[in-house]
Amino acid sequence: MRKYLHVINIGLQGNLAYRFNYLTRTLFSFIPLFAMLSLWRTVYAAGGGAQERSGYTQTQIIFYYLMVAVVDVLTAVNEDDWQIAADIREGNISQFLLKPVDYLTYRLCLFVSGRLAYVAMAAIPLALFIFCFRSNVVAPASLAAALAFPVSLVMTALLQFFISYGMAMLAFWLLEISTFIFILFAFEYLASGHMFPLDMLPPLAQHILAFTPFPYQLYFPVSIYLGRSAGPELWHGLWIQFAWVVAAYGFARLMWHRGIKKYSAFGG
Amino acid sequence: MNLRRYGIIYSALWKTSVAREMSFKGNFLLWIVVELLWFGLQLSFVGVIFRETTTVGTWTQWEMVLLVGASNFIQQVFQAFFLVNCTNLSELVRTGKMDFLLLLPVNTRFIVSLRQVDLGAFVNAIFGLCVMLYAASRLHLHPGTLQILGFAGLCVVGILIHYSLMFMLAAVGFWTVRAQGIVYGYYNLFNIARLPDEAFHGAFKAMFTFALPVLLVSNVPARVLADKLVSPAAWIALLALGVLWAAISEWFWRLSVSRYTSASS
């Protein structure tokens, strides 16, 4: 266990070297976020009954996007998938086959340290941004929501990581995997609720999405906080999210297992 | 004569680009799919917005689809000619391959900016055009020759603005060696180009209209097509800012190159 704490420590130092990069990234990401908020405010200002149709008040929709930004900073996979793919392509994983270090755990530690470093850089600008919209901020919908939210948040992070890890394993078979990563990312962007709250979609689309892991990669924890998943639906959702985490973990392990058989250590 | 020489060089660059793309056919097709998916995503967002409302400012649903199509068209044409080259610039500086390009007896900015052509982006530009045509037919638009010429001209200005801004972002690579966030910054900045200008107010709108004219690049051409142009001030502003940013980016490029100190040894 100690060795993995070391990995986190090293990862933190490595990631903090990019702190300027993280800071500019965060600041740049405020442009589309602010644009989104302006757009919705314009929609609501027109007073065409948007509230009745969407089930969101203007305050709620603004807070939804703010929460998405927060959850994204805390859980999104940053460059991990590219780095894993590069490790495989360039033969860096050979050393993990020899050392008593589990590559998945190793990468998970780096993911955690990457998130910690990112949060350290993004926290202040993001807090300032949210402060500008403080009139829209609300507390968790209930005590249950307040307790379930962090649990769901951790599972969201794990789900994101395992899926990215499994996808990066494609590098065992293919030279160029960025297209596949971007295709998945496009689906995630829409289906995880990044662009708009998923309950704004037509019912049929919502039903289809319920069978995919995407909503559990972002939308679900936000909806818990906002009290849109409450009562039995909340517990039910947490179990499904847990099942997806286990499934994604299995997928990640399986891909590694299959890939390593194919692996022939280029360069080495 | 000089122009002819550059024509010959550029056609040679095209040939190598085509050869490169065709050696990875699967990848070529997949990138088209990736871009197409993102375009579809933007359109689905319009669909969701207009489930909640009937207008954004004065923009109706199909006008906004026209805008998203125009924005995609401009962005894809820019991408076809310039984007890869801009993102490669920091790599050229980091590895010192810039030496080789500086020694060539051609304008360095020309060769740096146009070395590779992204053919897939042309395909996606056509998809953007198709969406615009469909939106125009839903709006019962019958643009005259002058409107179409105006639209085309303003698209060129828009592409120039994309290029000027992106090239400056890329030239930051001369100052800090690791400028990874460049593409990310670009996408975030031009992300708002496909949104109706009327959705914005105050300082934000002023900044992205007059300082960084992102809110003009696709809005003004789309307005020209959709008969939504309120006053000629809009296209005059776009034109003037296009020239201004081209000049600034040339100045910044010269300043940056003068700082270049190879990477060998």
- List average pLDDT for each run of 10 residues in chain A, which is 268 residues long: 86 83 86 93 79 82 95 91 90 86 93 92 94 92 93 96 95 89 92 92 91 95 92 93 97 93 68
Say if CB A266 and CB A175 are below 8 A apart.
no
Q: B217-254: per-residue pLDDT in tens?
A: 999 999 999 988 888 888 999 999 999 999 999 999 99
What pLDDT band is residue B155 in, cutting at 50, 70 and 90?
very high
Q: B127-137: per-residue pLDDT in tens?
A: 999 999 999 99
User: pTM score > 0.95 for this model?
Assistant: no
Q: Tell me the three state secondary structure of residue B59.
A: strand
- Asked if residue A268 belongs to a domain, the reply is no
Structure-block tokens of residue A44: 């609501």
A98 to chain B, closest Cα gap in Å = 32
B39 to chain A, closest Cα gap in Å = 10
Of all residues in chain B, the one with the smallest CA distance to A30 is B188
**B191, amino acid identity:** N
- Asked if residue A131 belongs to a domain, the reply is yes
Structure-block tokens of residue A58: 């203007």
Residues of A in contact with B56 (CB under 8 A): 39, 42-43, 46
Domain count, chain A: 1
User: Are residues A190 and B41, on separate chains, in Cβ contact within 8 Å?
Assistant: yes
**A155, amino acid identity:** M
What pLDDT band is residue B265 in, cutting at 50, 70 and 90?
very low
Domain residues for A106? 2-262
Which among A54, A179, A195 has CB closest to B52?
A: A54
A2 to chain B, closest Cα gap in Å = 32
Of all residues in chain A, the one with the smallest CA distance to B208 is A31
Q: B49-108: per-residue pLDDT in tens?
A: 998 888 898 999 999 999 999 999 999 999 999 999 988 888 888 888 888 888 888 899
User: Are residues B199 and A39, on separate chains, in Cβ contact within 8 Å?
Assistant: yes
Residue B48 forms contact with A (CB below 8 Å): yes
User: Are residues B24 and A21, on separate chains, in Cβ contact within 8 Å?
Assistant: no
Size of interface A-B (CB pairs under 8 A): 96
- Asked if residue A229 belongs to a domain, the reply is yes
Interatomic CA distance for residues A113 and A117, integer angstroms: 6
Q: Is the per-residue pLDDT at B121 higher than 70?
A: yes
Residue by residue, DSSP assigns A26-54 as HHHHHHHHHHHHHHHHHHHHTTSSHHHHH
Q: Is the ipTM of this complex over 0.85?
A: yes
Residues of B in contact with A24 (CB under 8 A): 181, 185
Residues of A in contact with B181 (CB under 8 A): 21, 24-25, 28
Residues of B in contact with A25 (CB under 8 A): 181, 184-185
Q: How far is CA B69 from CA B42, B72, B94, B105, B228, in A?
A: 9, 5, 36, 40, 16
